[in-house]
Chain A
Amino acid sequence: MLPDSKVPAGPMAEKWTNHKFHSKLVNPANKRKFKIIVVGTGLAGSSAAATLGELGYEVEAFTFHDSPRRAHSIAAQGGINAAKNYRNDGDSVHRLFYDTVKGGDYRSREANVHRLAEVSTNIIDQMAAQGVPFAREYGGLLANRSFGGAQVSRTFYARGQTGQQLLLGAYQQMMGQVKAGKVKLHTNTEMLDLVVKDGEACGIVCRNLVTGEITSHSAHAVVLATGGYGNVFYLSTNAMACNVTAAWRAHRKGAYFANPSFTQIHPTCIPASDEFQSKLTLMSESLRNDGRIWVPRQLNETRAAKDIPEAERNYYLEEKYPAFGNLVPRDVASRNAKTVVDAGYGVGPLKNGVYLDFADAIARDGRDAIEARYGNLFQMYERITGEDPYTQPMRIYPATHYTMGGLWVDYNLMTTIPGLYATGESNFSDHGANRLGASALMQGLADGYFVLPNTIGDYLAPKLNQPLVDTDDDVFKESERLIEETTSHFLGIGGSKSPDHFHRELGKIVWNRIGMERDEEGLKSAIEEIQALSKEFWSDLKVLGDAKSLNSSLEKAGRIADFFELAELMARDALDRRESCGGHFRTESQTPEGEALRDDDNYAHVSAWEWNDKDTPQTKHAEELTFDEVPLTQRSYK
């Protein structure tokens, strides 16, 4: 049974305030008696660890990276939203809330989204106080831009390195708490299991990636801030090490996994150039503010872009969606790119991209203005492709970017395992079936700075003076034993294929069958293909080296094993949801114009999947969603 979502009663705009008032509190002097484990030190984890430490809790933070500053959050480029309305352009908490619910295609929980919009303004204040060098106007006030199709300018940014600057802010704040002795930091340490006793989360088991040592750590509560699972596609814009392992191992211990098939394919990435391609690079969505997207009207076009006359160019987004043009939401932009490329109009050596053209913007605003806005992105593009985007259009194509699905959490961000919380990209909570640009940084920091620190006390308060579970307890020992067993199993298979080989092959299945378009037949065969490949993985994997020192093949093997199980669940989830919504496009369910067609009568719910055992598919539980504030409408960007 799915637990209560704990959404507070009362008017939408007062829910969060009332909820905080009605939550149990831990007295300041007692906070030090509670130990909290935070796994992950990206935006969501660092902000949580720092804040919990400041409040007085004993915090232990874990990351598999060699430093918290390496977390994938560092790579976010474009910006972070906040309903500050500094531009006086009609923005408000209500509008950000409304846009997020609608942009998510009505598959998120209204109350969570409203809270997110409410605290968004505090995030900017907090980060500015941390010394984040946000972009400024000449008068010294903060600059904003419109981002990812928003009709208002509510995005704050620090050049093209917003994620970097925010993460450094949160990481530095956490390091202050490390110095103060309130946060103990474990780097190079990968969580491999969640430990549960009497139905409650009581700790984790980890492997030190440098020494191979397996260690147990107990706590009164465990917070996962372990990021998204986009790398199940193999090629994605995520950093190479992003994975689902922490969330997945928690899932296997009883945490329900929600909406796993809700993944976001970002429209503006550099297309793959060859089969050795290891990852795809995002070109920030902000480029769509000035770049125009087009493909040649003629099949098998061989002329260079600049030689193709205006009349022979198909600005397909501007034509099809006059109101939003190149700024339609990500899912719409991505699917349209796929349509034109599949129809044979793709550009570039592999005909696998569309043009993103700045010629008009440069003619209008001047090269200097464009350079000031996007200089570092243009440079990055030039480095990767060897082409100069000032003189020829960029080539772009969609790539996996973000995962809206994740561990199911209630309004307090607690999973279905009492004492286990999930924050940031690792939970499913706020973005429904499609995330708006510049909203992930906002959510990670909202969860870590303002939500979790205010909700965790409600769980902890009644546990005052309750001792920690001893790490010699059977629950820890059994978990350590299983990890050692799997590790030696990987090293002992002695097969013929590398972990990367399996990852690549799995990625192809996921991209082709559970990617931008899904249909019943494809999803059914995906399940069979994944199962067959998984069998091969467990019998023909080749991991060299040992378990007593740094061994990235061994690390990958464990992560890929979890990706196999996740991929299968993604297929089941996508198969079960016989509607289209946001990034989940079932070809069987579309409007006459080819847009995603929701089925609100049957699918206005969150699908939360419960683990059974390795041989029995998960059981689905539905959390019905109600929309009291944002009336259900068919999204239209015409």
Chain B
Amino acid sequence: MSQTLNLTLKVWRQEGPDADGSFETYKAKNIPDDASFLEMLDVVNEDLIDNGRTPIEFPHDCREGICGTCGVMINGRAHGQEKGTATCQLHMRKFSDGDTIVIEPWRAAAFPVVKDLVVDRSPLDKIIEAGGYVTAPTGTAADANDTRIPKEAADSSMDAAACIGCGACVAACPNSAAQLFTSAKLWHLNSLPQGQPERYKRTEAMVETMEQFFGACTNHGECYEACPKEITLDFIGYMNRDYIKSKVKNRKLAGQQS
């Protein structure tokens, strides 16, 4: 049977993007250890509402680790200390009775706080908009099996495509860099036959858009540690290689070298 926990929470509260924020302390009482971290926050919020205090805004939706909406700093770590786990999949059995938990929003200049624990991650969409797609208008496709893709290549592409766009990589990085996010999308598309025609144009556009919003990568590897999908650092290397190629003047040639 499940146990219950009593916890102390120090939660970042901030009215809006321009307001000053501060930590407030709350008690989380009788939390079943089968509950998820977000269900624990639900309970705290119900309690706050009962006491006439505005509930904590926190990001969440699917609660299955796939939509990428959730994400807070838990005791200084993006998504908490359990590896390969989004905040919504973290369960209270990983905590002990009497723990104090510090909960903050993602901290990055590119992700301004919207309210409390919710931040604005729209720059990630900007990177996709810059070139994170294959131009293939509806109706133009040939039979799907006309293009064979070796299983290993498809699997490797899928490893990168598994990114959920939560932004933990940025939040964990001392420089607030978005290399892991960007390179994962690039490898997803650049490693497939379908992605070849626009490979270098895509790489150049996405990398340069990334640089407009985010910091530089200095190889700390914190992003990988924080990533709920354990996206590997290899993709960053592939991205850098393609980016240099994209700068080669003769794009036609670059396309053939790949």
Physical interaction between A and B: yes
State the Cβ distance, B198 to closest chain A Cβ, in Å.
Answer: 10
What are the residues of chain A within 8 A of B129 when measuring CB–CB? 175-176, 178-179
- Say which residue of B50, B52, B67 sits within 8 Å of A70 (CB atoms): B67
Given contacts A386-B91, A550-B118, 7 further A-B contacts (CB under 8 A): A70-B61, A74-B66, A125-B141, A131-B133, A133-B188, A178-B129, A498-B46
Among B33-41, B95-103, B170-178, B237-245, the stretch that binds chain A is: B33-41
State the Cβ distance, B110 to closest chain A Cβ, in Å.
Answer: 14
Residues A165 and B134 in contact, CB atoms below 8 Å apart? no
Residues A274 and B138 in contact, CB atoms below 8 Å apart? no
State the Cβ distance, B59 to closest chain A Cβ, in Å.
Answer: 8
CA distance A84 to B158 in the complex (A): 22
Q: Which residue of A lies closest to B58 (CB)?
A: A552
Q: Check: B60 CB closer than 8 A to any chain A CB.
A: yes
Residues B134 and A175 in contact, CB atoms below 8 Å apart? no
Query: CB-CB contacts of B135-176 with A at 8 A, as 1s and 0s?
Result: 111111111110111110011011001101100000000000
Residues A67 and B165 in contact, CB atoms below 8 Å apart? yes
What are the residues of chain A within 8 A of B145 when measuring CB–CB? 84, 86, 141-142
- Say which residue of B46, B115, B130, B138 sits within 8 Å of A453 (CB atoms): B138
Q: Which residue of A lies closest to B136 (CB)?
A: A129
Residues A69 and B68 in contact, CB atoms below 8 Å apart? yes
Known: A69-B165, A128-B194, A131-B189. A161 touches B132 (CB 8 A): no
Query: CB-CB contacts of A231-246 with B at 8 A, as 1s and 0s?
Result: 0000000011100000
CA distance A165 to B189 in the complex (A): 12
- Say which residue of B15, B36, B124, B195 sits within 8 Å of A67 (CB atoms): B124
Residues A176 and B133 in contact, CB atoms below 8 Å apart? yes
Residues A137 and B55 in contact, CB atoms below 8 Å apart? no
Known: A67-B124, A176-B135, A179-B129. A383 touches B85 (CB 8 A): yes
CA distance A552 to B114 in the complex (A): 12
**Would you give 18 A-B contacts (Cβ < 8 Å), ordered by A?**
A70-B62, A70-B67, A72-B67, A129-B140, A140-B151, A175-B128, A179-B130, A240-B62, A273-B2, A273-B32, A276-B32, A276-B43, A278-B38, A278-B39, A498-B49, A542-B49, A549-B115, A552-B57
What are the residues of chain B within 8 A of A384 when measuring CB–CB? 36, 89, 91
Residues A274 and B2 in contact, CB atoms below 8 Å apart? yes
- Say which residue of B1, B42, B130, B134 sits within 8 Å of A131 (CB atoms): B134
CA distance A500 to B49 in the complex (A): 11
CA distance A134 to B158 in the complex (A): 8
What are the residues of chain A within 8 A of B54 when measuring CB–CB? 544-545
Question: By DSSP majority rule, is chain B's interface helix, strand, loop, or mixed?
Answer: loop
Q: Check: A536 CB closer than 8 A to any chain B CB.
A: no
- Say which residue of A72, A126, A164, A168 sits within 8 Å of B138 (CB atoms): A126
Known: A128-B141, A349-B1. A187 touches B115 (CB 8 A): no
Residues B15 and A131 in contact, CB atoms below 8 Å apart? no
Residues B61 and A130 in contact, CB atoms below 8 Å apart? no
Residues A276 and B35 in contact, CB atoms below 8 Å apart? yes
Within 8 A of A (CB), among B52-76: 52-55, 57, 59-69
Known: A168-B161, A380-B64, A550-B114. A131 touches B89 (CB 8 A): no
What are the residues of chain B within 8 A of A277 when measuring CB–CB? 39
Interface centre among A71, A127, A161 (most CB of B within 10 A): A161
Residues B49 and A124 in contact, CB atoms below 8 Å apart? no
Known: A86-B145, A128-B194, A139-B148. A550 touches B122 (CB 8 A): no
Residues A65 and B61 in contact, CB atoms below 8 Å apart? yes
What are the residues of chain A within 8 A of B64 when measuring CB–CB? 75, 281-282, 380
Query: CB-CB contacts of A162-183 with B at 8 A, as 1s and 0s?
Result: 0011001001110110110000
What are the residues of chain B within 8 A of A282 when measuring CB–CB? 64
CA distance A383 to B125 in the complex (A): 29
Residues A130 and B194 in contact, CB atoms below 8 Å apart? yes
Residues A133 and B142 in contact, CB atoms below 8 Å apart? no
Residues of A within 8 A of B (CB): 47, 50-51, 54, 65-72, 74-75, 84, 86, 122, 124-131, 133-142, 158-159, 161, 164-165, 168, 171-173, 175-176, 178-179, 187, 210, 239-241, 273-274, 276-279, 281-282, 349, 380, 383-386, 449-450, 453, 498, 500-501, 542, 544-545, 549-553
- Say which residue of B61, B118, B134 sits within 8 Å of A239 (CB atoms): B61
Q: Check: B10 CB closer than 8 A to any chain A CB.
A: no
CA distance A336 to B93 in the complex (A): 32
CA distance A179 to B205 in the complex (A): 12
What are the residues of chain B within 8 A of A133 when measuring CB–CB? 154-155, 157-158, 161, 188, 192
What are the residues of chain B within 8 A of A159 when measuring CB–CB? 158, 162
CA distance A70 to B68 in the complex (A): 7
CA distance A551 to B35 in the complex (A): 24
CA distance A403 to B228 in the complex (A): 30
Residues B142 and A450 in contact, CB atoms below 8 Å apart? no
Known: A139-B148, A450-B138. A65 touches B161 (CB 8 A): no
Q: Which residue of B lies closest to A454 (CB)?
A: B139
Residues B154 and A134 in contact, CB atoms below 8 Å apart? yes
State the Cβ distance, B63 to closest chain A Cβ, in Å.
Answer: 5
Q: Which residue of B lies closest to A500 (CB)?
A: B46
Q: Which residue of B lies closest to A210 (CB)?
A: B114
CA distance A449 to B136 in the complex (A): 12
Residues B133 and A278 in contact, CB atoms below 8 Å apart? no
Q: Which residue of A lies closest to B42 (CB)?
A: A278
Residues B142 and A383 in contact, CB atoms below 8 Å apart? no
What are the residues of chain A within 8 A of B122 when measuring CB–CB? 66-67, 187
What are the residues of chain B within 8 A of A553 when measuring CB–CB? 49, 55
Residues B132 and A175 in contact, CB atoms below 8 Å apart? yes
Residues B138 and A50 in contact, CB atoms below 8 Å apart? yes
Known: A69-B165, A74-B66, A75-B66. A173 touches B136 (CB 8 A): yes
What are the residues of chain A within 8 A of B143 when measuring CB–CB? 125
State the Cβ distance, A562 to closest chain B Cβ, in Å.
Answer: 18
Residues B133 and A173 in contact, CB atoms below 8 Å apart? yes
What are the residues of chain B within 8 A of A122 when measuring CB–CB? 139, 141
CA distance A69 to B127 in the complex (A): 13
Residues B52 and A544 in contact, CB atoms below 8 Å apart? yes
What are the residues of chain A within 8 A of B16 when measuring CB–CB? 549
The 7 closest A-B pairs by CB, nearest first: A140-B148, A172-B133, A129-B141, A128-B144, A125-B141, A129-B136, A133-B158
What are the residues of chain B within 8 A of A124 when measuring CB–CB? 144
CA distance A124 to B144 in the complex (A): 6
Interface centre among A128, A173, A453 (most CB of B within 10 A): A128
CA distance A534 to B109 in the complex (A): 44
CA distance A384 to B132 in the complex (A): 33
Residues B66 and A161 in contact, CB atoms below 8 Å apart? yes
Q: Check: B29 CB closer than 8 A to any chain A CB.
A: no
